Structure 1
Amino acid sequence: MRTINRAATLIGFTLLLAACSSEELGSPTVNVSQPSASETSGLWPNPYTVPPEKGLDVAPFLGNPCGLVSPGLLADEKYSVEGRPRLPGEDTTADVTGPYCGWSGKGDSRGLTVSIQSGNARRGAGGLVHLRRMYDEGRYAYWEDTSIGGYPAAYLDLADRRSAGGCGVAVAVADDMSFSVAVDAYADQPTEACSAAARFAEDVLGNLERGI
């Protein structure tokens, strides 16, 4: 039961980043107010955009989201190295949000999910700018700006689970593209959850930069 609840929580975090309303998940359409041209033009220093020369290409991982995380880091963090990929056309959540992959902790109930928000980009609502506007519209319980590996990022969630050992972070890799990392069930060390999410996010950035 704990495994089922953990999986539901992590999938819920992945879904909450979709730029559509809950009643539209079967056939998603954009349901957020559109940013102005100045917000999405890519002109630095808008805090949620990425200069063109720093943009990262997620295309090599759209069919292999599990490849976003290094096996060595998974082993160091005591997760199973074998992930569970979920792709559009095979999974209803991936149909809405984009491809994602989940891993389980070794010998405990921890969980990790990494998702590419290509679904938002496909609907013209990709990137951290749009996620921030969703927060401003009351979609998320909290939003905390941060930077990971030199890229704009934010800790956010539908409900604040940090005191219970759950944490999610979204990272912009282009003006119209972001990815997310969510961890759960760090109940014995709840303050470690966001640190773990940030470590995984930094690893994802490194793999995107290398394109492997």
Structure 2
Amino acid sequence: MLRSTRLAGVLGAALLLAACGGDQTEGSPSLSGSDGDTSTGSAQSAPSGKQGAAPRVPNPLPVDGILADPCNALSAAQLSRIGLDAPGTKRETRTGSECVWKSAAFQDNSVSISPMTANDNGLDGIYANEPEDEYFEPTTIGGYPAVYANVIDSRSNGDCVLWVGVTDELAVSVITQIARGPNETDPCPVNERVGTAMIEQLGRG
């Protein structure tokens, strides 16, 4: 019942979004199964042409590779160090493409990366949706502005959503769903590791 409730929450958040239009350590993250669309609802578009409340991206990253295939966001070496099985699975969602990887240690656990092409205002769109979010915690990932945010707070159940601004026009979601293992009730550190690896990989061009 708990698993069904969590997946329903993620799917509900995806529908809301569609309507709104460092060094890595080794070991397997205790990343939960991602059977449905893992996109979330924190990307309501800010008014076009207006700067929002989000911090500016200091050095925009090359994004052609991740837009063509979000599975390009992590290298094979990074996946091995983080503890994710390769290759990832590319899927189309209502908000764009995503790539999902399973944990090598716990196949029920997963992480997904998705460039939020449905929102062309980057992190400004995420910040605009703050009143709707149950949690909203700005941070920095690999020197880039980011925020932990989602319309449903199920972090204690193993789900965490991180948004990273890779350009001022594009935010990328990093979503962990963890059903088993040491991060089952504290998933967000895994998002940080994956997000940092993604920044490193994109920086290589």
Q: Is the 8 A contact 1:10 1:183 kept in 2?
A: no
RMSD: 3.2
Contact 1:6 1:185 in 2 (8 A): no
The amino acid of 2:95's aligned partner reads: T
Deviations 1:72-98 (A, max 9, x none): 232233321111012xxxx3x1xx322
1: CA distance between counterparts of 2:79 and 2:13? 20
Aligned residues: 182
Q: Name the structure 2 match of 1:157.
A: 150
Structure-2 separation of matches of 1:72 and 1:6? 35
Higher relative contact order (CA 8 A, sep 6+): 2
Matches within 5 A, 1:128-167: 128-136=123-131, 138=132, 140-167=133-160
Report the Cα offset of residue 19 of structure 1: 6.2
2:163 counterpart letter in structure 1: A
Tell me the CA shift for residue 128 of structure 1.
0.6
Question: Which ranges in structure 2 are unaligned for 5 or more consecutive residues?
Answer: 22-42
Q: Which amino acid aligns with 2:201?
A: N
Change (3 A) 1:196 1:34: same
Q: Is the 8 A contact 2:54 2:123 kept in 1?
A: no
Q: Normalized per residue, which structure has more helix?
A: 1
Provide TM-score, normalisation by structure 1. Answer: 0.72
Distance 1:206 1:9 in 2: 33
Question: How many Å separate the matches in 2 of 1:142 and 1:110?
Answer: 22
Unaligned 5+ segments in structure 1 are 23-29, 41-45
Superimposed CA distance per residue, residues 31-82 of structure 1 (whole angstroms, 9 cap, x where no aligned partner): 6552773x25xxxxx642214xx01121122222111012223223332111
Question: What's the CA shift for 1:180?
Answer: 1.0
Distance 1:71 1:161 in 2: 30
Q: Counterpart of 1:48?
A: 55
Identity of aligned residues (%): 27
